[in-house]
Structures are given as structure tokens and as C-alpha cells.
Amino acid sequence: MSDLSQLAKQLQEQVDVLTSYLAKEKLPPPTFLPDENTLKPSIAKLPPDVEKARVKAQSLSWNINQLLTAPVDCLLWLSMEVHLMIKLPLIQFYEPVCLRVVIDNKIGQMIPIDSPGVPISELAQKSKLPESKLIHIIRHLAAMNIFREPTPRTFAHTAMSSLLARPEFSNAVDLISHFIDEGYKSSAYFPEALELYGEQFDKVQKSDLRTAFNLAFRTDMHYFDYIYTPENIPKYGERFGRSMMGGAREEIMEATLSPYDFSVFKEGDVIVDVGGGIGHMGAAVAKRVKPGVKIIVQDRPSVVEQGKGVHGHIVELQPHDFFEPQPIKGAKVYYLRLILHDWPDEVCRTILRNIIPAMNSESKLWIMDSVWQNDEFWVNGKNDKEIIDSYTAWRQHQGIRILHMMSKLGTSSRISLTKGAKERTEAEWRDLFSSVGLKLTNIYSRDGLHAIIEAVKE
């Protein structure tokens, strides 16, 4: 049995570790209100011991919250998506709906960050939305600390909502829009897709792959083909490119790249970013290598044109479809970042076989992706203590990420009890490489979630 008083005491101990560190370093405490630290809060980058305390405090507060709610109410309220748990708003039910209305209609930008409040009548007039509907949408978000209502029918920003009004956060807003539009719609059809297509996920090539996305958007086209049709590029394709920049924040790129020693590259070396979008990771790599190391970013023609306006002064952008043979021969490194996790094994083999002939004896292949945890990682529930101790944001991220990718792209994992593999364990990466004549030689990673998985030709 769980002793609430003991759990509360443990929570206080972990909070004390965090607050003591912030006080010692003269760093501002977390706040719900927007301020100069909103974009780079002091808790975003902590020493390992303090970060451990922060995560433990999250776990304890999450579990205390559930223990203070009757089990039947947890189930009933979750089905109606009352916000009981510590999760991002973009993975709830009505929260994504309300958030999408606010983002699509630029409500956040209508409220100055330092404003004491803007009347709902003014927001309705500017957005051309019915005031009687809009007020309930914003109030629902305010219950999640996204906006606040300091006086009746007047709304101001919180730290979270203020991000919607900050130009420097616009790419992250695009990422949120990607989740609550394509992702959210597709997730509604996931049960039907699993019943119809689950057994074929890892048995077919791209042209025959069907997913929840196909049901939601009423198309036989693969997700990436659909968003890059001429009529869909402005709404979906360009937003996806920007959203990948939003998902590649500085701390994430640092976590991926920092374990590797980039000083080994010399002038004249070529690094090819295959399927590199508009070049955000290529630009990050360029900052870490010596002058004279050439970075080539390849993607669809429309994506390349978009990228030239963002990173064209840092990297070379080249049109290329990774389902066709790789045109650059003998590069020092070919890398695919968050590409192979989009595809089942059979399609991954096709992608890799288009790169391998271009590699020489000194070429390396990098897969910038996750090294998934083994089944033992997921064991949980022997007793209350194990349930509480086993909570991690990493575990939640893995579960959410795999379900999102399954709904949108049809790839799956053995962990999800459907056939195939998307997110792969070290053993699964080795097997995939071996099946096409590659050998895994190293994994550079801090945490497994962000890794450089290195392979060479056997």
C-alpha cells in the first residue's frame, strides 16, 4: 500500500533538491507567468543529480494525483479527457481541438505578452469566431494553464500560451500543429487500421502500405507522398519541414551530436544528409566540423527549395529521392536522421541498398535515431513502489511516439504486439544492418533516445 504522507514527504525532498540548486546558482524558479526566461527556463538544463530529482518529483506528483482520485473516476474522466496527468496538451482529447482552433486563428498573437488581458469580445471580432463558442475554447485551455482569465471574460498569457505569440517559437508551433492535425486525425482511426492492416505492416513495400492516416484522410497515397502533392505542399509539406526544425531544438541536437568527436573530419571530406529536410541538422553538423568539410543535404525538390531560403548559405542542398540510387559516391559519412524509424524493415532495406553501392571502404553510415529499450525496461506493476519508481518521461515519450508513428506511417514495434519493427533495439539494428551487408560498429549516445548508430560495409 502507498502511504500518501510518505509520498508527499519524498516529493518535498526532491523539490528541495531542485529549489536549493536554483537558489545557489541564483536562477529563477519556475513560474506560470510569461517572463524573459520562458523560452529558456532554468529547469531545461540541469546537472544530472538535480535532473534526477526533478524527474522523481514529476513521478511522485503524477502518482499522488492518481491516488487522490478514485479509480473509477480516473477511467471515466480520462475517457472525457479531464486533465489528470502530467502530459503535454497536444496528446489529450479536447485540448488538441481547442489548441488547434487557437493556433489556426492566431489567437495567441492577438494578445500582447505583457497585456493584463484582452476582452473575449475583441478576440472574437478579430478572429471572426462566435464569442459564445470561443470563450469556452479558451477557458478549457486556461484550465490547463494555457492562457489565464484574470478578470471575467478577459484573457491574458501564461508562460505556455505566450509561446504562441513568440516568433522564435513558431517552428515549434508548427510541430504542435502537425501533431494536432495529421496526428490527431489519424489516431482516431487507429483501431480500424490495426484491424485492417496490422498484419501487413512489415510485409509490404511503400506502395502497398496502408495506415490510419489513409483512413482519416481518405487517400491511398503514403503520408509523405500526400503532403508533398502540389496542392498540399503549402498546408502540409512546408509546415512539416518547419515542424522538423521545431522538433530539433538546440538541446536535442546537442544531445545527438555531442557524444561524437567531429574533429576527425578534415578539409575535403564530404558528409551527406540523406532525407535531411530543409537542412537544420546539416547546419548543426556544419558548426562542428572544420572549414572545408562539405555538407550536402538531400530531399525532395520542393523541400530543397524551401531549405535554400533557410540554410542555403551553410549547406549545399540537392534534390534526391532515397528510394533511388545515391548519386554521391565515396562520401566520408552518409547519415539518415529519423528516417528509418518511419519505415518497416523491408522498406528500410530498400533505402539502405540504395546507399551501400555509393559507399567506399572508408565510408560510414550513421543512423541518427533511438536505440529502443528491451522488454525488461517495460516491466512494471509488481507493487505500488515499483509503479511509482518506474515512471519516467522517457517511458511516456516512447509510448506516445510509437503510437503516433504507427497511426501516421503504419510502422510498428514488437512492443506494440503487432508484427514488424519501427523503433529498434540494438539487436534489431544489428539484424537490419546484417541483412543488407552492413555491420554495426558503434553507438554514440548519452541516453539511447538520441543516438548516432554507426555502421560500415562488411
Per the domain annotation, does 385 fall within a domain? Answer: no
Q: How many CA atoms are closer than 13 Å to the CA of 167, on its beta-carbon side?
A: 0
Catalytic residue check, 341? yes
pLDDT for 254 = 85
Q: Are 441 and 456 in contact (CB under 8 A)?
A: yes
Confidence of residue 304 (pLDDT cuts 50, 70, 90): very high
Q: Could you tell me if 43 and 188 lie in one domain?
A: no
Confidence of residue 433 (pLDDT cuts 50, 70, 90): very high
Per the domain annotation, does 402 fall within a domain? Answer: no
Q: Which residues contact 156 (CB under 8 A, 6 or more apart)?
A: 111, 115, 116, 117, 118, 147, 148, 149, 150
- Identify the domain boundary among 140, 165, 190: 165
Q: Could you tell me if 12 and 155 lie in one domain?
A: no
In eight-state DSSP terms, residue 372 is P
What is the CATH number for 154? 1.10.10.10
pLDDT for 406 = 65
Q: Could you tell me if 239 and 253 lie in one domain?
A: no
Q: Could you tell me if 448 and 348 lie in one domain?
A: yes
Q: Could you tell me if 348 and 261 lie in one domain?
A: yes
Among the residue ranges 70-74, 155-159, 402-406, the one predicted with the least confidence is 70-74
- Choose, from 178, 222, 311, 341, the residue flagged as catalytic: 341
Report which secondary-structure segment, H or E, holds 156: strand 154-156
Q: Could you tell me if 429 and 335 lie in one domain?
A: yes
How large is the average pLDDT for residues 155-169? 91
Residue 402 has pLDDT above 90, yes or no: no
Domain that residue 361 falls in:
248-371+424-457
Q: Could you tell me if 290 and 431 lie in one domain?
A: yes
Per the domain annotation, does 360 fall within a domain? Answer: yes
Higher pLDDT, 292 or 412: 292
Q: Could you tell me if 240 and 285 lie in one domain?
A: no
- Identify the domain boundary among 244, 259, 293: 244
Q: Could you tell me if 294 and 265 lie in one domain?
A: yes
Distance CA 414, CA 427 (A): 13
The length of the chain, given as a count of residues: 458
Q: Could you tell me if 130 and 226 lie in one domain?
A: no
Per the domain annotation, does 25 fall within a domain? Answer: yes
Q: What are phi and psi of 200, to 5 degrees?
A: -105, 0
- Identify the domain boundary among 165, 185, 201: 165
Among the residue ranges 24-38, 396-410, 435-449, the one predicted with the least confidence is 396-410
Q: Could you tell me if 288 and 360 lie in one domain?
A: yes
Distance CA 458, CA 455 (A): 9
Q: Could you tell me if 346 and 197 lie in one domain?
A: no
Please give the mean pLDDT across all residues of the chain.
85
Residue 414 has pLDDT above 80, yes or no: no
Confidence of residue 79 (pLDDT cuts 50, 70, 90): very low
Distance CA 73, CA 7 (A): 21
If one counts the domains in the chain, the total is 4
Q: Are 89 and 158 in contact (CB under 8 A)?
A: no
This prediction has a pTM of: 0.73
Confidence of residue 91 (pLDDT cuts 50, 70, 90): very low
Distances (CA, A) of 32 to 35, 158, 169, 219, 387: 9, 6, 17, 42, 29
